[in-house]
Amino acid sequence: MAKTHYSEHLAPGQVGAVTALLALAYLPLAQWLALQVSLFVAAALALRIAALRWPVLAPGRWLLLPLTAAGLLNVLSAYATVSGRAAGTALLATMLVLKLLEIRGRRDVRLLAILFGFLLASQFLFDQSPLLVVYLLVLLVADLALMADLTARARPRPLAGALRAAGRLFLLSLPLAIALFVLFPRLDNPLWSLGNDEQIGVTGLSDQLEPGSISELVLSGEPAFRVWFDGPPPPAEQLYWRGPVLWRMDGRRWAPRPDEAAGTGAPLAEADGRLGYQIVMEPSDQRWLLALDLPVEIPDGAHLTDDYQVLAKERLTTSERYRMVSATRYRTTAPDPVTAAAGLELPPNVTPRMRALVADWTRDGADAAQVVARALAHFNREPFYYTLAPPLLGGNPTDEFLFETRRGFCEHYASALAVLLRIADIPTRVVLGYHGAELNPLGDYYIVRQSDAHAWVEAWLPGEGWRRIDPTAAIAAERIERSPELSGLGARAPLRFGSEELDRIARLAHGLRLVADALEAGWQNWVLDFSNADQLALLSAIGLGYLSNYGLAVAMILVGATVLGVTVLYLARGRPRDPLEVLFERFAARLARVGLRRRPREGPRDFGQRVAARRPDLRPQIEPFLGLYLRLRYGRADPKVGLPALRQRLRRVRPRRQRR
């Protein structure tokens, strides 16, 4: 019967462990990959689990070949390619579960445990949140514990021992990881490209406005961006964050001008109250860079339009960090004739009663500012209600809202006011963005959530320029309907009108949410957005700011080698040695001093027999020692009990050189 080598001995628990690790690692990927890929992976995992209970179900080599072909065709059917972020990750997951079905010995499990790291790393192509990082670190430590268990020679290690070994290796690797993170030269562009994958779905403002578009967005409490002010923040009533600007109204929907990318920013007649700040904006799949109204200094590479939109070169598919300066008090210059005409275009469905309402505001030759004041008074005086659940509107939503339903959200009021002011020959435009911000005291920054999405109107008033007008602020407080689904989205919900006191459980939940957001913001700033400038600033703080890119590379190699060397020395020094091996090495060293050296790979018994044959006079010294050593090493005797006797017999081993 052939003897099985210890390294190929495989415990059922080891196969179950690697199966569980692969299943847990795939769970976060399921939301990003095609459903048919997830079904294939789930089927392979289920077959592997069933084979643990009934080994006869384990597929043979001839069944694995068509399964491999089916897995490859499944990925090609889902993505029509095997390259790119999603397709490449799907192919990797498919091949790993197929290798799981092929397990025959410990070598296969060890290979899967090594390749498992690539599956963990692929997660960061889709998500880099701190919670995911913690989850993957737990899986990494578990994988290290499995590899430590696979190194056991005789039998698997206890779970606690394997986890201790994995935790020790993980902690020892941290200094090297930190050194490489700090010193690795930062690049402006990635070293490789994964191709044009589909965009990940994101929520945020749209470039169009119609009833219901913002009220649906406000039900989301996800962060839109975070703000760090250079100085004291402006008052809450000035926290308007400017996004897309809409000019064209077709009767139901507002849209931007086709030439929104034109121009270089209209000059300002006055710009006071300048305030610098930094924004970290979540992916929006749009080009807008949100700015405090009104931006005067924009990031390099961005573009400022004539209506003060800040546009990036490409759509924001990842988080973006940038700095801006805005003027909180400003006065714009007069618009050119083309812009003024665009602000006066009327939709085709203006009704006589809409014109009659405006005619009442313009009686006795009222100027533009007076018309605006009368319009706001109309919304305040008449029974208009602010609600997130307005009734459905028909083919002429502006007319129906003004004279029939009178219930709506900010988009209803902004759209209606803009049309009415245009009827009064006042150029207007609709601005989409966010209003307000919530201070997170844990990080001394402000959070602007999707629930803060807002729409307002800008009207051209002689002597004042483009003036911001927020019609929802004119609604009487007693006609604001509180929506229970908004409670807990932020500190103030809706932010433009304040909120009632939250109960104790809600305050606790909100506090935990601020803690989680502070951790996420720190992770974004100090890890994901750790740029070349941040690296140079950190090195300058410790006196190494003179290092260039080549200097950083040399420093990284030197520091990495030093940390790695210290770690290896620590492991070598701290490794506990078997006292039996120590005594046998002393025994062999004493014989070597008289010319009786142990040969490579020579066992203790063979070594003793060769020495006794060459030096019969030493037989009384070496045989008692070797006899007890072999019983303690390979027999059932307790080494702890026999160690003192073995030390006594070692003292009697005093070989001398033979005289020639």
d(CA 385, CA 407): 5
- Helices 85-101 and 35-53 cross at an angle (nearest 10°) of 10
Q: How many whole angstroms separate alpha carbon 322 and alpha carbon 311?
A: 12
Active site residue 470: yes
454 is catalytic: yes
169 and 57 Cβ atoms separated by less than 8 Å: no
Other residues' Cβ atoms within 10 Å of the Cβ of residue 651: 8
Query: In whole angstroms, what is the distance from residue 105 CA to residue 8 CA?
Result: 5
Contact partners, residue 227, CB within 8 Å, separation at least 6: 277, 278, 279, 437, 445, 446, 448
Q: Which of 399, 452, 470, 517 is catalytic?
A: 470
Among the listed residues 475, 213, 433, the one whose alpha carbon sits nearest the alpha carbon of residue 326? 433
DSSP conformation letters of 99-128: HHHT--SHHHHHHHHHHHHHHHHHGGGT--
CB 611 within 8 A of CB 603: no
Q: Is 654 left (phi over 0), alpha (psi -120 to 50) or beta?
A: beta
Orientation angle between helical segments 106-122 and 12-26, nearest 10 degrees: 10
The residues near 360 (Cβ < 8 Å, ≥ 6 apart) are: none
Single-letter amino acid code for the residue at 571: L
* Distance of alpha carbon 610 from alpha carbon 630, whole angstroms: 16
- The reply to whether 410 belongs to the active site is yes
Rounded Cα gap, residues 503 and 190, in angstroms: 48
3-class DSSP state for residue 481? coil
* Residue of 307, 410, 435, 517 marked active site: 410
Rounded Cα–Cα distance for residues 629 and 528 (Å): 58
Q: Which of 378, 412, 435, 454 is catalytic?
A: 454
> Catalytic site residues?
410, 454, 470
